Amino acid sequence: MKRSPHTRRSAEIAREKLAAILQTKVSDPALAGVVVTGCDVSIDRSFIRAYVACPAEEEEAVAEAFGRAKGHIRRLLGRALGWRVTPELDLRIDPSTEEAERITEALRHVPPTMTEAKDDEGYPLEARDPGEGERS
């Protein structure tokens, strides 16, 4: 969706309101540990795509719970926002949290060659022939 200062502010407001609704107004236990990571709002405010994070093993249960509660959440969100139109709501599992966890895990297991001193071309300094690169 197109990003402008207006849609960014609308998205932030929608994210805050949706997070509050999920914490206080929705009683489904599958949605208890869900975190709203972001929202995208269309220019005319008729559509909101919300991204949520949850543990990987709970993604399917969370998606089903959102499917059951989508109408109720949309109605509550429409009232909380007070916009002219109650926006359509598309709830998606945020893949960026899984990607961040994968990167963090990879950084924990850095190969020993990554810590060696290297020259500008990426070769280890110890393995380089002292006369290499010199011209007579």
Q: Do the beta carbons of residue 57 and residue 98 sit within 8 Å?
A: no
> What is the SS3 assignment for 49?
strand
Q: What is the pTM of this model?
A: 0.67
The predicted pLDDT at position 18 comes to: 92
**Rounded CA gap, 61 and 19, in Å?**
18
The CATH class of 5-108 is alpha beta
Per-residue pLDDT of the chain (136 residues), as tens digits, is 667 788 889 999 999 999 999 888 888 888 887 888 999 999 889 999 999 888 878 888 888 988 888 899 999 999 999 889 899 999 888 877 777 777 888 778 777 777 778 888 878 787 555 555 555 4
DSSP line for 85-119: SPPEEEEEE-THHHHHHHHHHHHHT--GGGGS-B-
